[in-house]
Amino acid sequence: MHLETLLILVFWVFASAPSSIQCSWPTSPIAGAVDPNINLVIHQPRRPTLTIPTNCSSPPPQTCTFYAGCLEPAFHCGPEGYPLGFGEKFCTKFSLPSNIARLSPKGQEWMYTTMHCLQVALVPMLQAQDDSESEGSSSSTSMPHSHSDSDACDNLEKEAFSTHAPCYLSSGLCKLTPADWVVIVEIIDLKTLFQSWEAFESSVQAAEGCLAFFGWVLVNKVIAWIERRDLQGDAGLLPAP
């Protein structure tokens, strides 16, 4: 076969081939230019999306895992921060079998309802922190992690303590017997109960049917002050109720 005939045959075969198997050659005279017929897909880096597990967005009743498993990983407050130093500590203390046995059936129901209420009340804070971390992860000018953690922990603690009185009262604290009140106060101690006395007092006064409990708390507050005064040997002034 003559060379000319062979070249014609090769050209005919190439021209007859399906376009799907034909090669695309750069048409630009510039070295390294990209064929405009070739579609390039450029993947932009995506901002990581933080998701809240179901057991965090909807804490299971009668459990304490919300504090160490949800709040602490999000806020990083450390062993003295609210999630571990208060929330988990007293939740675990309340749910001890020895303490549960000291409460009446209504007292036990109050305890579990309150435990759940305190956790659910902080879910919005957890979601807000989740959104904040998502935004901060894509910003190169964000504050140092430790600073933001400190601010977030302070806000968390403030918000958490503001939910105590509403949760205690909405769960039926005022309807319990003095015997249950004694056990509850012994578990969380008066110092803890009165950390935000003004907020607690206003909530109790606004709650219907809480006059008996309010009087009982005031009496025990005075007793606690007297005991502290005797231990310190300081006469001082009786704190205003």
**pLDDT in the model for residue 132:** 67
What number of CA atoms fall less than 13 Å from residue 21's CA on the CB side? 6
Percent of the chain at pLDDT exceeding 70: 58
Q: Is residue 94 part of a domain?
A: yes
Q: pTM of the prediction? A: 0.65
Structural domain of residue 219, as residue ranges?
54-136+146-232
Name the pLDDT band for 18 (thresholds 50, 70, 90).
Answer: low
Give the up-direction half-sphere exposure of residue 127: CA atoms within 13 A in the CB hemisphere: 10
- Distance (Å, whole) CA 124 – CA 97: 30
Enter the tokens of residue 148.
């933001």
Within a domain: residue 79? yes
Query: CA-to-CA distance for 228 and 168, rounded, in angstroms?
Result: 26
3-state secondary structure the chain: CCHHHHHHHHHHHHHHCCHHHCCCCCCCCCCCCCCCCCCCCCCCCCCCCCCCCHHHHCCCCCCCHHHHHHHHHHHCCCCCCHHHHHHHHHHHHHCCHHHHCCCCHHHHHHHHHHHHHHHHCCHHHHHHHHHHHHHHCCCCCCCCHHHHHHHHHHHHHHHHHHHHHHHHHHCCHHHCCHHHHHHHHHHHHHHHHCCCHHHHHHHHHHCCCCHHHHHHHHHHHHHHHHHHHHHHCCCCCCCCC
198 lies in some domain: yes
* 128-150 confidence digits (pLDDT tens): 987 766 555 544 444 334 445 78
Domains held by the chain: number: 1
Is 165 within a domain?
Answer: yes
Is residue 25 domain-resident?
no
**Per-residue pLDDT tens digits for 184-203:** 988 887 666 656 666 667 77
Residue 38, domain member (yes or no): no
Distances 132 to 14, 94, 122, 144, 160 between C-alpha atoms, Å = 59, 32, 15, 13, 18
Whole-number Å distance between alpha carbons of 196 and 162: 8
Is 219 inside a domain boundary? yes
Distance of CA 98 to CAs 101, 108, 127, 183, Å?
A: 5, 12, 34, 11
Please give the Cα distance from 214 to 165 (Å, whole number).
Answer: 12
Residue 66 included in any domain: yes
Pull the structure tokens for residue 66. 């919300």
pLDDT at 209 > cutoff 60: yes
Q: Is the pLDDT of residue 238 over 90?
A: no
